[in-house]
Structure 1
Amino acid sequence: MKRAIFLTTCLAILASFSACTFNYIDRDPYEEVIQTYALTGFDQLSMGSAFNITVRQGSAYRIEVRGSRNDVNDLDIYTRNGKLYARYRTNSKQRYTTYFTITMPTISGVDFSGATKSSISGFGGLRSFEAILSGASRSDIDLDASSVRVDLSGASEATLFGSGSVLEGDLSGASSLYAFDYPVNEAILDVSGASRARVDVGKNLDVSASGASNVRYQGNPSVRQNVSGGSSVQRD
């Protein structure tokens, strides 16, 4: 009886290895291509599907995409109402990373989802900027703007560099905001679901924190806080 159980276990393990090998072989071979797109007139981005995205300031629009031929051919990229959209047309788990390099004169907002990784740099003198990150997306954002708003959910992460006047943050689902290198006069934060925020504030800090969340701040602001559920607000 024990021998039969042992043999059955071994066969199950071998079957699982075979399944893993089959999935690997089933993946299309990588054939790199670089594609450019002549799209203009946008100052916002909406992108998903685990892309790696580099956004930088420049006098002219340019969109360059690098990746597997099959993945690049499956992209749906278009503009509408001042926003650039990029998605895959079909669902597939067997994809390589697709890399976007986007140059644009100015920017007012991004909406990145689906485990994207991004960096945004070179933009200054902006009136406002909004970053919406969801689905475990990560972004390094280096810019100067009078007002910045970040909306982070689903274990997403944003790191800010530069300077501004007002910073608003809405964090949920174990998300993280790192803004010690983005000093502002005023910060308004709503942090929940084991999220955390790090901010540098000069005058006023308004915090609502719940669900074991944590806010640490630098500077000497006047602090108003509404804290519950094991959350905390601390000077760094």
Structure 2
Amino acid sequence: MKKMGLGILGLIILVVMASGCVGTGSGKVVNQTRDVSGFNQISTNGDINLFIKQGTNESLVIEAENNVIPNIKTAVSNSRLTIDQGLGQTTVMPTKPVNVYVTVKDLSSVDSSGSGSVQTDKLNVNSLTLTISGSGNDTINGLTANTLKVVISGSGSVTAAGKANSQDVTISGSGEYNGSNLTSNTASVNINGSGKAIVYALQQLNIMISGSGEVNYLGNPKLTQQISGSGKVTSI
């Protein structure tokens, strides 16, 4: 019986190790500053809450449990800052949010993979591309840009406010885009699936829907639409 008990214990340990999880967060939240520079693109992987602000000096601060922080990998390569929570490796599962605060000089793209979030305030850039793979949630406030491109794959959502000369939105799946507070001269929306989008276009709006997607729009633009399925386009 004793040998059987040891065998079961060993099996449990193997299962835990195979799952890549060796424990849970300590509950003690600390901050760690890391040196980063020379980037205008950001990629995140995992359940990470990313807070971005624009300034004159680039910086990165991680706020998480003290035994979770060592698993979070950060690196800059080819002008891209990558922030990886390290899930799927031998890691510790957080019990508190993982928050990352980044200051950028300039920003051209943010790619999110997982269930985290991205939040920005007062961004002034030439072109910005937001890409979500998964169930992430992006909130972009105070944006001034020449072009905004949004690509959502999955059930993620993006809310944008500010102004752009043009915006291009692509949704594959059940994702949602709310640009009711982002004015643009021209806009393009392409939905494949059951996604939903709200856009504000002043001059030109091009819409393509394949499936049951919905597009609501503000403004009085020249409208071009192509719908395959039960999709809907509504002026609000």
In which range does the TM-score fall when normalised by the shorter chain? 0.7 to 0.9
Which one has the bigger helix percentage?
A: 1
In structure 2, the partner of 1:65 is 62
Percent of residue pairs identical: 23
Letter in 2 for 1:78: A
Please state how far the C-alpha of 1:62 moved relative to its aligned partner.
Answer: 1.2
C-alpha RMSD of the superposition: 1.3
Distance (Å, rounded) in 2 between the aligned partners of 1:86 and 1:141: 19
CA offsets, 1:162-215, max 9 Å, x none?
Answer: 101110011111000000100101011111210000011001100001211000
CA offsets, 1:41-96, max 9 Å, x none?
Answer: 10110002110110001110110001011210111100000010011335258323
Check if 1:172 corresponds to 2:169: no
Which one has the bigger strand percentage?
A: 2
Letter in 2 for 1:204: Q
1:42-53 mapped onto 2 (5 Å cutoff): 42-53=39-50
Letter in 1 for 2:101: T
In structure 1, the partner of 2:53 is 56
In structure 2, the partner of 1:108 is 108
Distance (Å, rounded) in 1 between the aligned partners of 2:173 and 2:47: 19
Segments of 5+ residues of structure 2 without an aligned counterpart are 1-22
In structure 1, the partner of 2:30 is 33
Segments of 5+ residues of structure 1 without an aligned counterpart are 1-25
In structure 1, the partner of 2:153 is 153
Please state how far the C-alpha of 1:216 moved relative to its aligned partner.
Answer: 0.4
In structure 2, the partner of 1:6 is none
| Bigger CA radius of gyration | 1
Distance (Å, rounded) in 2 between the aligned partners of 1:193 and 1:93: 36
Please state how far the C-alpha of 1:121 moved relative to its aligned partner.
Answer: 1.6
In structure 1, the partner of 2:197 is 197
The ranges of structure 1 where at least 4 consecutive aligned residues each deviate by more than 3 angstroms after the TM superposition are none
> How does the TM-score come out when normalised to structure 1?
0.86
Letter in 2 for 1:77: T
Distance (Å, rounded) in 2 between the aligned partners of 1:226 and 1:40: 44
In structure 1, the partner of 2:12 is none
Relative to structure 1, is the Cα distance of residues 61 and 232 closer, same or farther in structure 2, using a 3 angstrom cutoff?
same
In structure 2, the partner of 1:233 is 233
Distance (Å, rounded) in 1 between the aligned partners of 2:159 and 2:94: 27
The size of the alignment, in residue pairs, is 210
In structure 2, the partner of 1:131 is 130
Letter in 2 for 1:132: T
Letter in 2 for 1:47: T
Contact persistence 2:205–2:222 (CA under 8 A): yes
Letter in 2 for 1:136: S
In structure 1, the partner of 2:211 is 211
Contact persistence 2:47–2:85 (CA under 8 A): no
CA offsets, 1:139-163, max 9 Å, x none?
Answer: 1012110111000111010000110
Relative to structure 1, is the Cα distance of residues 147 and 118 closer, same or farther in structure 2, using a 3 angstrom cutoff?
same
> How does the TM-score come out when normalised to structure 2?
0.86
Contact persistence 2:73–2:84 (CA under 8 A): yes
Contact persistence 2:29–2:64 (CA under 8 A): yes
In structure 1, the partner of 2:185 is 185
Distance (Å, rounded) in 2 between the aligned partners of 1:174 and 1:79: 32
